Structure 1
Amino acid sequence: MIYLFLADGFEEIEALAAVDVLRRAGCDLVTVGVGGKRITGAHKIEVTADIEEKEAVTDGLDMVVLPGGMPGTLNLEKSPIVKAAIRYCAENDKYICAICAAPSILGHMNLLKDHTATCFPGYEQELHAKALSAEPVCVSGKVITARGAGVAVEFALQIVAVLFGTEKSMMLRKSMQCM
């Protein structure tokens, strides 16, 4: 099971592109609303999450996906449930994926010290990473980070590639006419 956390002020493209692409790939993805089921994005688009954070459990969790956006990233970071899910993944060798400003949460939790990472320009100092990547999407061990909204589909396709292989990712890319 994959949790994609949504908090008020999330970047809509980053979240919904990941939900769409990962569900097309056949992932068991659950959107988790921080602070309730109805969450409003940074551009005033309201989304109804599958579950509220109080319903989230880490047993069986395979991955966490964190969209960026402001103040969405700050709201995600305030949630003890989000942090518990991230810690669970880190401690159990599960994937942690974050885009835009959201990799800063991982940096603040000291989870990037052994990883190369990328983020939205201006947040690099928040990462405390072993190295910074110039690539728009970066895979380092079980951590996947990305720059921002402009690479949201690429971020999601990279997640598919690590879960199911490059061939499945390429098939999805072709079916979405991203070639």
Structure 2
Amino acid sequence: MKVVVPLAEGFEEIEFVTIVDILRRADVEMVVASLGEKGGTGGVASRDVGAVEGSHGIRILPDSVLADIDPEDFDAVVLPGGYPGFVNLGEDERVLALIRRMNDAGKHVAAICGAPSVLVKAGVVEGRCATIHPAGRKDLTNDQYVDDRVVVSGKLITSKAAGTAMEFALRLVGEFVGEERMRRLAGEIMAEGEV
């Protein structure tokens, strides 16, 4: 299993770190890809793999830049939320194209917090259910919206906010690797509640 996590300036640190940490503990190969905005001119992204700053001032050094990502090499894409991180993701046509290609290939597409709005913008939520941060509720129709902390609808996985990041990450393990590995990992880290 190989997962790409696009990372934009203003990402939510708790969501990002929890997702990457838990999936790596489950032996899922993770590639963090920045949008490469540093040094870009005229809307053209650079190949700068410089640090990306989160919404609370924490800087993360990605593994790669989005320009170097081939969707064929990945089994899933996971979007962290955070403001303005999810807005930056949704304004990048390469991110939207990546989501569409992964979805069209029957691969997993996941997002947390405000980032499910990016999935809506990419057009991959049609005919499915999802959840989103309460501030983004208007982005989902009544038929799409489920008021749960984590929602799985086929290979679409969504979650509400930083406070649901652990449940979301463990659910990703369940979907990507299997329920047994998810339960074992939840026990190892002493996660409480329903996973």
Q: Structure 1 length normalisation: TM-score? A: 0.96
1:107 deviates by: 1.1
1:80 deviates by: 2.3
Which residue, out of 133, 146, 153, partners 2:146?
A: 133
Query: What's 1:93 paired with?
Result: 106
Q: Give per-residue Cα distances to partners, 1:58-93, cap 9 Å, x unaligned.
A: 122210000001100111112222112101111100
Matched, 1:59 2:72: yes
Find the aligned partners of 2:60 and 2:73 in 1 and give their Cα distance.
Answer: 25
SS in 1 for 2:87: helix
Kindly provide the amino acid, as one letter, of the partner of residue 83 in structure 1: L
Q: Which has the larger radius of gyration?
A: 2
Find the aligned partners of 1:55 and 1:125 in 2 and give their Cα distance.
Answer: 34
Kindly provide the amino acid, as one letter, of the partner of residue 56 in structure 2: H
1:128 deviates by: 4.1
1:54 deviates by: 1.6
Kindly provide the amino acid, as one letter, of the partner of residue 150 in structure 1: G
Q: Mind listing any 5+ residue stretches in structure 1 that lack a counterpart?
A: none
Q: Identity of aligned pairs, percent?
A: 36
Contact 1:4 1:30 in 2 (8 A): yes
Matched, 1:25 2:21: no
Runs of at least 4 residues off by over 2 Å: 127-131
1:57 deviates by: 1.3
Which residue, out of 39, 49, 52, partners 1:39?
A: 52
Contact 2:90 2:121 in 1 (8 A): no
Distance 1:25 1:155, change over 3 A: same
Contact 2:10 2:85 in 1 (8 A): yes
Kindly provide the amino acid, as one letter, of the partner of residue 121 in structure 2: H
Counterparts of residues 1-179 of structure 1 (less than 5 Å): 1-34=2-35, 35=37, 36-37=48-49, 38-128=51-141, 130-179=143-192
Distance 1:129 1:23, change over 3 A: farther
Q: Which has the higher strand share?
A: 1
Find the aligned partners of 2:32 and 2:115 in 1 and give their Cα distance.
Answer: 16
Find the aligned partners of 2:143 and 2:71 in 1 and give their Cα distance.
Answer: 27
RMSD over equivalenced CA pairs, Å: 1.2
Q: Structure 2 length normalisation: TM-score? A: 0.88
Find the aligned partners of 2:190 and 2:79 in 1 and give their Cα distance.
Answer: 25
Q: Mind listing any 5+ residue stretches in structure 2 that lack a counterpart?
A: 38-47
Find the aligned partners of 2:138 and 2:123 in 1 and give their Cα distance.
Answer: 12
1:142 deviates by: 0.7
1:13 deviates by: 0.6
- Name the stretch that deviates more: 99-108 or 123-132: 123-132
Contact 1:116 1:129 in 2 (8 A): no
1:41 deviates by: 0.1
